[in-house]
Amino acid sequence: MKLLIHGGFFSESSQSIETKLVKQQAMSQIIRDAYVYLKEHTAKQTVVYAVKLLEDNPLFNAGIGSQIQRDGIIRMSASLMDGKTKKFSGVINIQQIKNPIEVVSCLQEVDDRVLGGEGANTFAQHIGTESYSTEIPQRRKEYEEKLAATGIGTVGCVAIDAHGNLAAATSTGGKGFEIPGRISDSATVAGNYANGECAVSCTGVGEDIVSGALAAKIVTRVTDGIEIKSAFEKSFLELEEFDGFAGAIGIDKNGAMYWQESHPQIVFAAYDGLELTVFQ
């Protein structure tokens, strides 16, 4: 059993050393809690659990603490892919809820598994999700100063459970100050993908991640027999052609973990029950 989580990119320009330390501590606690959960649950259940903990923490740009879009409204996106069933589910630009990943988890059980905008909002209401504002004063301040673009962040988790099943989940508050209606990578197979061979979750600039088809490309390469490190390196090399801004975490069916970033510094943690690594 192993898992990795990421908390998006750390922006030196907008955050202090204190924030960096607090984020590292939060990552350590969340990955430890998620690992305890993984002992009794599947990879799919665990990635949802871990992403929910990240969404609940205002330090990260997902759920509480999400970025505000150009029109002053928060719209969030999230997705889940179960490597066992190969089912992908997602919500795009959902509003006024605390945990987009929980709605995504419910969508695994229905035929129409990716919902956007009003359809996603209506589905969330239909399953009894309470209305909740995820805005925090810091994001409103950034919005008012039109500095929201410094907050490139997303959260994600990849896990392998005791039965060797893989899963990936990703959730985001977006780039910040984007045009309403913009689609994030986080609820696409470019930002979040898993099968029986590999699971990958991405963070960074959604347009670059989609242009690079990043998560799906890495997973496909591993599926075709390329080792995870080489699959990451080749896919990130292809991002360089257009200076793509992205980071990703991944795990394969043998438990090999890998992560890479095209620009500094993705915030992530890895844990196998023995060794805990937190990078920033």
134 scored as a contact of ligand GLY (CB under 6 A): no
| Burial of 17 (C-beta count, 10 Å sphere; 0-12/13-18/19+) | exposed
Among 57, 95, 184, 188, binds ligand GLY (CB under 6 A): 184
Number of residues this chain uses to bind ligand GLY (CB under 6 A)? 11
Q: Smallest gap, in angstroms, from Cβ of residue 18 to ligand GLY?
A: 25
- Marked catalytic residue, from 154, 172, 203, 220: 154
For this structure, is 277 an active site residue?
no
**How many angstroms separate the CA atoms of 163 and 16, rounded?**
41
For ligand GLY, the closer CB: 183 or 256? 183
Q: Smallest gap, in angstroms, from Cβ of residue 242 to ligand GLY?
A: 15
For ligand GLY, the closer CB: 48 or 215? 215
**What 3-state DSSP class applies to 143?**
helix
Q: Smallest gap, in angstroms, from Cβ of residue 202 to ligand GLY?
A: 7
For residue 79, report the phi and psi dihedrals to the nearest 5 degrees. -150, 165
- Interacting residues with ligand GLY between 188 and 227 (CB under 6 A): 203-206
Tokens of 8: 């998006």
- Interacting residues with ligand GLY between 164 and 183 (CB under 6 A): 172, 174-175
CA 74 to each of CA 70, 104, 137: distance values in angstroms, whole numbers, following the listed order:
9, 17, 13
Nearest residue to ligand GLY by CB is: 206
222: nearest Cα among 212, 234, 213: 234
**How many angstroms separate the CA atoms of 198 and 100, rounded?**
24
**How many angstroms separate the CA atoms of 115 and 174, rounded?**
16
For ligand GLY, the closer CB: 89 or 203? 203
For ligand GLY, the closer CB: 165 or 186? 186
For ligand GLY, the closer CB: 9 or 271? 9
Cβ-contact 103, 124 below 8 angstroms: yes
**How many angstroms separate the CA atoms of 126 and 123, rounded?**
5
154 scored as a contact of ligand GLY (CB under 6 A): yes
* Site residues, ligand GLY (CB under 6 A): 154, 172, 174-175, 184-186, 203-206
Report, as residue numbers or ranges, the catalytic residues. Answer: 154
